[in-house]
């Protein structure tokens, strides 16, 4: 399984998913970015929820280049709403696949999901 990667260039996030497919997400399509942290003080990594139309992208803390790419996007587009939040529980479906694809640890993964899969208190501001 590919570990996932996010790059920011030409005003687009280029997301390489776990199955090595590439998705281009333009800055204009992003409605809001939630910069998230776990409520566990031992897990201080940031991860991101990007709201796009009727879906959201989850970009976990161990996705290659993600932190730099998201902050570069934020610097270039300060008009995109930015919300800091704490996540208390990571649903199984949103966890990073570990050894043999098992999702044992509550660490955010990488993927696009329907809004109905959002963890509690992570909704888009409106």
Q: For the segment 81-97, what is each residue's pLDDT rounded down to a tens digit?
A: 999 988 877 777 788 76
The predicted-structure confidence for 97-123, as pLDDT tens digits, reads as follows 665 555 455 688 899 999 988 876 665
Contacts of 83 (CB under 8 A, 6+ apart): 32, 33, 34, 35, 125
Distances (CA, A) of 24 to 30, 37, 69: 12, 25, 13
| pTM (two decimals) | 0.87
pLDDT computed for residue 57 by the predictor: 96
pLDDT mean over 4-28: 94
Rounded Cα–Cα distance for residues 122 and 34 (Å): 8
Rounded Cα–Cα distance for residues 94 and 110 (Å): 8
Taking Cα atoms as reference points, which of 55, 6, 67 lies closest to residue 29? 55
In terms of Cβ atoms closer than 10 Å to its own Cβ (0-12, 13-18, 19+), residue 113 is: middle
Percent of the chain with pLDDT over 70: 83
């Amino acid at each position: 399984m590919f570990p996932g990667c996010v790059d920011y260039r030409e005003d687009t996030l280029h997301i390489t998913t776990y199955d090595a497919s590439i998705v281009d997400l333009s800055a204009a399509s992003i409605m809001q970015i939630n910069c998230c942290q776990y409520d566990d003080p031992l897990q201080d990594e940031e991860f991101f929820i990007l709201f796009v139309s009727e879906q959201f992208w989850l970009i976990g803390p161990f996705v290659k280049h993600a932190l730099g790419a998201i902050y570069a996007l934020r610097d270039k587009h300060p008009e995109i709403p930015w919300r800091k939040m704490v996540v208390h529980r990571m649903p199984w479906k949103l966890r990073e696949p570990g050894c043999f694809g098992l999702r044992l640890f509550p660490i955010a993964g990488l993927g696009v999901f329907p809004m109905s899969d959002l963890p509690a208190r992570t909704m888009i501001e409106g």
